[in-house]
Chain A
C-alpha cells in the first residue's frame, strides 16, 4: 500500500541543530551559534538527540571558534540513554588537539550503527581559553535538558556518565556525520 512520508532520509550532518532530531530545532534558542569561550575546564556536557531511523555515525565533529590553539584539547562523543539522562559511552573521539579557527573539525571513528532512540551528544574541552560555537537557551536550564559532569577532560570521557543537571544554558555546536567524506 502506498504510504507517503514513511521513509526517513538520513542527514549528512547531525547535531542538536538538526531539524527533527535535535533540541535546538524544538527549543527556545533565540540566536544562531556564536564563537564563545569554553565554559569550564574539563567539564563534560551532554544534550539529547532523538535518532528517528537507523543510521551510521562515521565521523564526529565540532565547530571551532575564532580563538584556537593546538594546546587546547577537545573530546566529542555519543552516549546511550540511561533513563532520560546520559548513560553508557558509545563512542568518542578521544582527546584531540584543537585545529583551525572557524572551521568544523572532523574526527574519524569506527563506524557505529545507531538504532532509533534517544542518544546524548557529548563534548568536553580542556581550557576556558578555547572557543567553540554555541547557542544559549532562553528557557530555564530544566527546559534545556542539558547534563554535565566535572573533571572529565578530553581523553577521560566516563564509561558511564554520572551527570548532574545543567548549571549553564549553552548547547555547543557538535555532533556526528553519517558520511565518510567530504
Chain B
C-alpha cells in the first residue's frame, strides 16, 4: 500500500527523544445534573454569563494528573490501565488535540492519532468518505486519488464502496475506517484500540499494517486492553492508574506487575 510521506528510520537517530511529556494535567469539564437547590433561572443564567462563572452542575474530571516521561526514537510504548484511567486522554494530549490544564508536551513533529471516524458521515457513500477522510487527515486531493484504490482493496469492501456507509455491516465500516486511517504514515503515531476491529482475516492484515506503520514511524504509542498485542508489538509500557503514572519501563516487567494487580 502506497503511503504518503514515507520516512525510513535513520539508525543514527535511534535513542534520541521524540516526545517529552512534562508534568501534564488534563481536565474535562462536563455538565452533569445540577446539585439540589442550585438556581438555574434566567436571571442567574444572565449573571453567570456576565461574571463568566461556571454553571451549577458543571463538573471537573481530572483525567490526567501529573504525568512525566520521555519517549525515544524507536520506542513502541504500550499504555495499559483500567477503563477511565486516562489512556485515551493521554494520547489525545500528546497529539495536541486536548489542551492541557497544566504542563507541556514537547515534540519534534506533529504526532498523529490513528483514527478518522469523527470526520466521516454515515449517510454518504464509501467513495465520498474516503475522499472526505483523506482530506481531513491532511492529504492533498492528488494523494487521495493515488491512495484511493489501495484503500478500497485493503478494506476489502468491493462494490459496496458505492453504497452509503450506513448500509455496511459494522465489520465492513470498521474495516473501511481503519483502511482510511492507516493510509498515511507518521513520525509519531498514536493508536487507540485500532486492532480490535473486523474478523480474524482483517485482524491479521491490520496487525501487519500496524507493524509496517511502526517501522516507518519513529515512535509508536499503543492503547489496548489486549496485553498480548502489547507484548507482541511494544518494547516498553506505561501503566496509568486514575490519571497518574503507576509504572514505566520494560514491557514485560510492567505488564507482569499489572497482571498481578488485575488478577487479584
The yes or no verdict on A and B being binding partners is no
Binding site for A on B (CB under 8 A): none
